[in-house]
């Protein structure tokens, strides 16, 4: 990925991961160390660690529940469930699907991010908004649209297609944010040395966005592992479908919990692999050069293929599902427009999703900063914890929160604050990945300078790190906002009784097959999600 | 850079604070909380009638029957729910097994035939649905009288079904109970060999029959009558065939209610009244007219065009025995149908 002879690259030495820093001990400054790190190696400030621990504790709640339920009938029972032939087979299928979807999402996400931020793509601004939109289309709608058009897609192909189309923005958004946040000087130098746009991209740009892409890829992998909507519609048996089936078939929570525990182990393994893949090189500017508008790369002969590529992706991921919605609206005899209900539901959805995004982002900040700035056992543990529950199916996380809420925070049970906490537990990794990628790009040397000028660690965070990382953090907040809006299983169980979001209305209407009545809610979801996409598309410094 | 971010986060938090204003449906505390596995579109109007009848607010949490039963088990004694309205007998059976349902008085239970209520007396069916064969007269002028005919070569590639649908799985469980596991396994294998077309739900199966994509499909009776009411029966190509002679393919299953243990005295009293209300003539007529299901309480007629329950020849089976869904699923997986 990174070639040692690349002429344009600043490399920061980082501690090898195998040598965890002894926490709490102040290290003497070694003047020979590039970047002159002050005391970062000594471990993060407690001002960041404490809130990060709070966030991590919230995120591992579901694990406590899983342990209680999975071991209810003894470890032997749980082991029998896990080690059955079928479990192993389902796990392999899930992993195969994940690998396929991640590869496809990396290809789509990175190529589109580069085209929209770095090249003279016609209407780049509009494209950058359009390619974020697939996030807003519930995977259920995408899968339904494609399945009704091509029933033969059912199975692996259809699941891979629907999940790729639904989740490539997880890669696109952080990578685009990273590209907007990097100094284009590197590419300019490369191009002045005679590299073409493609070569510049491969040799210079790609290494710069690696952390962001890896973080996005991890989210996609976890999303695929935990998705139920698309695979159930496409009738492709995965591990998660097995868990849902287990709930529905036996009304028994123990086997389902034992199976979910396997997904937690998968998450830990994936997060570890992703941390390793981050490599030892951190890319950031050493100078004070800020991200600035740059002369975009001319596409030349690639212009038409590039447009066709963007067009195809947007058409398959957004255009086609929207056309299907339009068709439902047009032909449905059960079409009942209820503007008042729609408006109230939309406002409710906006409010809970906004609150969920705000809380998640605030909780993710300290975890993201530690993950980006520090190596060592504590940093790694915090990051693992934040991701822990992300591959667990929504229904399991929801039941975990029911379990704890009725026992320990009874007054909050089935009240809005608990629902918002549930969103934070579910989507913490989404915001952490974005924050981490953004902080990695902010040059650590600036933190050091600020410290040497007498700023407190918290002051550095407030005045240097967070402002530099702001675009990436904002992208994370927007992403979280959209996924909160689409969330269904936890919303159904934890919402205040009688409250409806667009996703729950959509579920109600499709439940009786009133697709025409469901269409306005699906359209509403997509419209609302277009707002943060638009803001992000515009967010160009 | 910092300020816009801080500002937008503040704006988001402010948006969240406007929430209570939006979701305040009613200031009155609810006298009864119902967990409903039945869709809001189907039972919403009935709940409004129930509120009038009880003279108190009724809050309903809608969800999937199986997931709500898991939630009730998780909540245990701390539950807020007084009544569980389930889409199928299986979820009620699961709660009954865990001792989470209260005993119903004989006068409530006696409103329906023993076939359609729990042997333990802690849940009762409120509406019935029967499995039928929907067929396209152009493609299949003479539909078969038994599901056992569906494994014959003449139906190869012509059958539509919804393998993941709870009602289909209940039918397979019924076949296992009635004819034994070996017979059911052989039938599923034969069905698989006939390359049936799988759909997501009953409605999609009916659409496929109607369009001629498949010649016949296995589904619940009321889907056809709802479609007929919506589009006009003359616009529907598909027809319904009721299987005679106690064929396992003609299973009658129920949606029902149970009183949740752990609710306070006042709520339990409301829940009891609600159960009786759902079995009242008014509610039973509602089910007949609106959802086209079979009213189960004595003395209420089914909807026009739906043949009376007494005229059918469903298999004789204890619905409480339909809870061995796990084995059914294992069998469906083994046959490669789900």
- Under 8 Å CB pairs connecting chains A and B tally to 161
Measured CA to CA, the distance from residue B296 to residue B318 in angstroms comes to 16
Measure the N-to-C terminal CA separation of chain A; round to a whole number of Å.
Answer: 28
Q: Which domain holds residue A432?
A: 332-541
Domain count, chain A: 2
Q: Which residues of chain A make contact with B163, given a CB cutoff of 8 A?
A: 235
Q: Which residues of chain B make contact with A416, given a CB cutoff of 8 A?
A: 19-20, 23
Q: What is the CA radius of gyration of chain A?
A: 23
Q: Give per-residue pLDDT as tens, A355-373.
A: 999 999 999 999 998 888 8
Could you tell me if residue A14 is inside a domain? no
Q: Which residues of chain B make contact with A247, given a CB cutoff of 8 A?
A: 66-67, 70
The closest of A316, A267, A74, A290 to A181, measured between CA atoms, is A290
Instruction: Give me the DSSP letters along B68-137.
Output: HHHHHHHHGGG---SEEEESSHHHHHHHHHTT-EEPPPHHHHTTB-GGGB-TTSS-EEEEEEEEEEEE-T
**pLDDT value at residue B54:** 95
Are residues A412 and B79 in contact, defined by beta-carbon separation less than 8 angstroms?
no
Region of residue A235 (left: phi > 0; alpha: psi -120 to 50; beta: else):
left
- A249 vs B: CB within 8 A: yes
Question: Are A306 and A437 part of one and the same domain?
Answer: no
Q: What is the CA radius of gyration of chain B?
A: 22
Chain A nearest C-alpha distance from B44 (Å): 11
Are residues A20 and A377 in contact, defined by beta-carbon separation less than 8 angstroms?
yes
Q: Give per-residue pLDDT as tens, A325-357.
A: 888 777 755 556 678 888 999 999 999 999 999
- The region of weakest confidence among A276-280, A282-286, A393-397, B221-225 is A282-286
Nearest residue of B to residue A336, measured between CA atoms:
B41
Measured CA to CA, the distance from residue A23 to residue A25 in angstroms comes to 6
Question: Are A158 and A240 part of one and the same domain?
Answer: yes
Measured CA to CA, the distance from residue B76 to residue B112 in angstroms comes to 28
The two counts, helices (H) then strands (E), for chain B are 13, 11
Could you tell me if residue A9 is inside a domain? no
Q: Do B76 and A334 touch (CB under 8 A)?
A: no
Higher pLDDT pick, B278 / A522: B278
pLDDT band at residue B18 under the 50/70/90 scheme: low
- B269 vs A: CB within 8 A: no
Tell me, what CATH number does A387's domain have?
A: 1.10.3720.10
**pLDDT value at residue B242:** 96
Annotated binding site of B for Fe cation: 222-223
**pLDDT value at residue A404:** 93
pLDDT band at residue A539 under the 50/70/90 scheme: low
Cα B289 to its chain centre, rounded Å, is: 16
Question: Are A307 and A352 part of one and the same domain?
Answer: no
Q: At what angle do helices A46-70 and A339-373 cross, to 10 degrees?
A: 110
Question: Looking only at Cα atoms, what is the longest distance across chain B?
Answer: 76
**pLDDT value at residue B246:** 93
Measured CA to CA, the distance from residue A298 to residue A120 in angstroms comes to 5
Measured CA to CA, the distance from residue A132 to residue A475 in angstroms comes to 11
pLDDT band at residue B134 under the 50/70/90 scheme: very high
E strand map for chain B: 32-36, 58-62, 83-86, 101-102, 124-135, 159-161, 197-198, 216-220, 239-241, 252-260, 294-295
Are residues A128 and A159 in contact, defined by beta-carbon separation less than 8 angstroms?
no
Question: Are A403 and A527 part of one and the same domain?
Answer: yes
- B 159-198 residues with CB < 8 A to A: 163-164, 166, 169, 197-198
- A263 vs B: CB within 8 A: no
Q: Do A407 and B78 touch (CB under 8 A)?
A: yes
- A 327-346 residues with CB < 8 A to B: 333-334, 344
Chain A nearest C-alpha distance from B263 (Å): 14
Question: Are A235 and A372 part of one and the same domain?
Answer: no
Query: pTM to 2 decimals?
Result: 0.84
- The region of weakest confidence among A140-154, A412-426, B76-90, B270-284 is A140-154
Instruction: Select from B9, B42, B78 the Cβ nearest to the Cβ of A512.
Output: B42
The closest of B175, B111, B136, B190 to B324, measured between CA atoms, is B175
Q: Give per-residue pLDDT as tens, A35-80.
A: 333 444 456 777 788 989 999 999 999 999 999 998 988 888 888 8
Q: Which domains does chain B have, with CATH numbers?
A: 9-128+253-308 (3.40.190.10), 129-251+324-335 (3.40.190.10)
Question: Are A308 and A375 part of one and the same domain?
Answer: no
Could you tell me if residue A2 is inside a domain? no
Neighbours of A294 (CB within 10 A): 15
The closest of A220, A256, A472 to B67, measured between CA atoms, is A256
Q: Do B30 and A499 touch (CB under 8 A)?
A: no
Nearest residue of B to residue A505, measured between CA atoms:
B40
The length of chain B in residues reads 338
Could you tell me if residue A107 is inside a domain? yes
Q: At what angle do helices A253-277 and A85-118 cross, to 10 degrees?
A: 40
Question: Are A263 and A197 part of one and the same domain?
Answer: yes
Question: Are A307 and A400 part of one and the same domain?
Answer: no
Give the phi and the psi of residue A395 in degrees, each rounded to 5. Answer: -65, -35
Q: Do B2 and A466 touch (CB under 8 A)?
A: yes
- B21 vs A: CB within 8 A: no
In the structure encoding, which two tokens stand for residue A432, read together?
């952490």
Measured CA to CA, the distance from residue A279 to residue A283 in angstroms comes to 11
Question: Are A274 and A359 part of one and the same domain?
Answer: no
Question: Are A426 and A519 part of one and the same domain?
Answer: yes
Predicted confidence (pLDDT) at residue A283 exceeds the cutoff of 90: no
**pLDDT value at residue B112:** 93
Q: Which stretches of A119-234 are DSSP H helices?
A: 124-130, 139-149, 156-167, 169-181, 185-192, 197-200, 206-226, 229-233
Question: Looking only at Cα atoms, what is the longest distance across chain A?
Answer: 76
Q: Give per-residue pLDDT as tens, A86-139.
A: 788 889 999 999 999 999 999 999 999 989 888 888 888 888 888 888 887 878
Q: Which residue has the tokens 């393994």?
A: A269
């Amino acid at each position: 990925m990174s070639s040692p002879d690349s002429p344009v690259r600043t490399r920061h030495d980082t501690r090898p991961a195998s040598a965890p820093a002894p926490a709490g001990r102040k290290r003497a400054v070694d003047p020979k160390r590039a970047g002159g790190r002050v005391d970062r190696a000594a471990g993060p400030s407690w001002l960041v660690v404490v809130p990060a621990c709070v966030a991590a504790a919230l995120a591992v709640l579901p694990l406590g529940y899983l342990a209680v339920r999975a071991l209810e009938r003894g470890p032997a029972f749980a082991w029998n469930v896990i080690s059955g032939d079928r479990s192993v087979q389902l796990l392999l299928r899930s992993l195969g699907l994940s690998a396929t979807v991640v590869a496809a999402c990396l290809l789509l996400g990175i190529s589109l991010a580069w085209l929209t931020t770095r090249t003279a793509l016609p209407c780049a601004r509009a494209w950058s908004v359009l390619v974020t939109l697939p996030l807003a289309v519930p995977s259920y709608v995408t899968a339904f649209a494609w399945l009704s058009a091509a029933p033969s897609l059912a199975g692996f192909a259809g699941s891979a297609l629907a999940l790729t189309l639904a989740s490539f923005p997880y890669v696109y958004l952080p990578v685009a944010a990273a590209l907007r946040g990097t100094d284009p000087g590197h590419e300019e130098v490369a191009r002045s040395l005679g590299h073409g746009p493609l070569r510049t991209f491969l040799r210079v740009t790609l290494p710069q966005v690696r952390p962001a892409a890896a973080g996005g890829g991890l989210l996609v992998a976890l999303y695929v592992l935990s998705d139920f909507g698309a695979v159930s519609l496409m009738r492709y048996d995965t591990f998660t479908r097995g868990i849902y089936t287990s709930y529905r078939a036996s009304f028994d929570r123990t086997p389902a919990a034992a199976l979910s525990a396997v997904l937690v182990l998968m998450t830990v393994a994936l997060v570890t692999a992703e941390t390793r893949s981050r490599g030892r090189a951190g890319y950031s500017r050493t100078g004070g050069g800020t991200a600035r508008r740059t002369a975009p790369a001319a596409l030349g002969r690639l212009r038409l293929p590039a447009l066709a590529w963007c067009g195809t992706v947007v058409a398959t991921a957004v255009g086609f599902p929207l056309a299907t919605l339009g068709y439902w609206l047009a032909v449905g005899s059960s079409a009942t427009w209820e503007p008042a209900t729609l408006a109230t539901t939309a406002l409710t959805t906006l409010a809970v999703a906004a609150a969920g995004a705000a809380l998640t982002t605030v909780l993710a900040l300290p975890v993201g900063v530690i993950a980006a700035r520090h190596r060592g056992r504590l940093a790694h543990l915090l990051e693992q914890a934040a991701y822990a529950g992300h591959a667990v199916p929504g229904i399991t996380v929801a039941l975990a929160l029911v379990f704890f809420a009725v026992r320990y925070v009874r007054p909050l049970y089935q009240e809005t604050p608990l629902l918002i906490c549930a969103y934070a537990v579910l989507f913490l990794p989404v915001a952490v990945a974005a924050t981490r990628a953004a902080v990695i790009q902010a040059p650590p040397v600036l933190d050091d300078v600020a410290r040497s000028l007498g700023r407190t660690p918290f002051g550095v965070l407030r005045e240097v790190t967070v402002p530099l990382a702001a675009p990436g953090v904002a992208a994370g907040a927007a992403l979280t906002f959209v996924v909160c809006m689409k969330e269904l299983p936890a919303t159904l169980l934890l919402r205040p009784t009688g409250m409806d979001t667009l996703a729950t209305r959509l579920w109600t209407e499709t439940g009786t097959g009133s697709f025409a009545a469901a269409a306005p809610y699906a359209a509403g979801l997509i419209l609302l999600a277009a707002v943060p996409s638009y803001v992000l598309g515009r967010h160009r410094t | 850079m910092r300020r816009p971010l801080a500002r937008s986060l503040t704006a988001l938090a402010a948006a969240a604070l406007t929430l209570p204003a939006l979701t305040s449906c009613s200031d009155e505390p609810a006298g009864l909380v119902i967990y409903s596995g039945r869709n809001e579109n189907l039972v919403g109007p009935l709940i409004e009638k129930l509120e009038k009848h009880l003279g108190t607010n009724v809050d309903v949490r809608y969800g999937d029957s199986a997931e709500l039963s898991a939630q009730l088990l998780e909540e245990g004694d701390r539950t807020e729910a007084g009544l569980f309205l389930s889409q199928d007998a299986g979820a009620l059976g699961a709660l009954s097994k865990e001792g989470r349902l209260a005993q119903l008085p004989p006068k409530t239970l006696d409103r329906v035939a023993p076939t359609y209520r729990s042997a333990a007396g802690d849940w009762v069916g409120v509406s019935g649905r029967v499995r039928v064969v929907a067929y396209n007269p152009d493609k299949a002028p003479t539909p078969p009288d038994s599901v056992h005919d569906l494994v014959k070569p003449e139906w190869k590639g012509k059958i539509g079904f919804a393998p993941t649908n709870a009602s289909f799985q209940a039918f397979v469980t019924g076949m296992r109970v009635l004819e034994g596991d070996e017979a059911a396994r052989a039938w599923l294998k034969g069905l698989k060999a006939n390359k049936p077309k799988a759909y997501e739900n009953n409605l999609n199966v009916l659409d496929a029959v109607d369009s001629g994509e498949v010649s016949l499909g296995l589904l619940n009776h009321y889907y056809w009558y709802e479609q007929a009411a919506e589009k006009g029966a003359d616009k529907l190509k598909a027809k319904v065939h009721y299987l005679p002679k106690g064929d396992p393919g003609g299973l009658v299953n129920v949606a029902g209610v149970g009183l949740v243990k752990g609710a306070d005295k006042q709520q339990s009293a409301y829940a009891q009244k609600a159960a009786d209300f759902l079995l009242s003539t008014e509610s039973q007529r509602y089910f007949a007219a609106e959802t086209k299901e079979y009213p189960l309480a004595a003395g209420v007629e089914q909807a026009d065009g739906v043949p009376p329950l007494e005229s059918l020849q469903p298999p004789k089976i204890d619905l409480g025995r339909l809870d061995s869904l796990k084995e059914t699923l294992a069998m469906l997986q083994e046959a490669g149908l789900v």
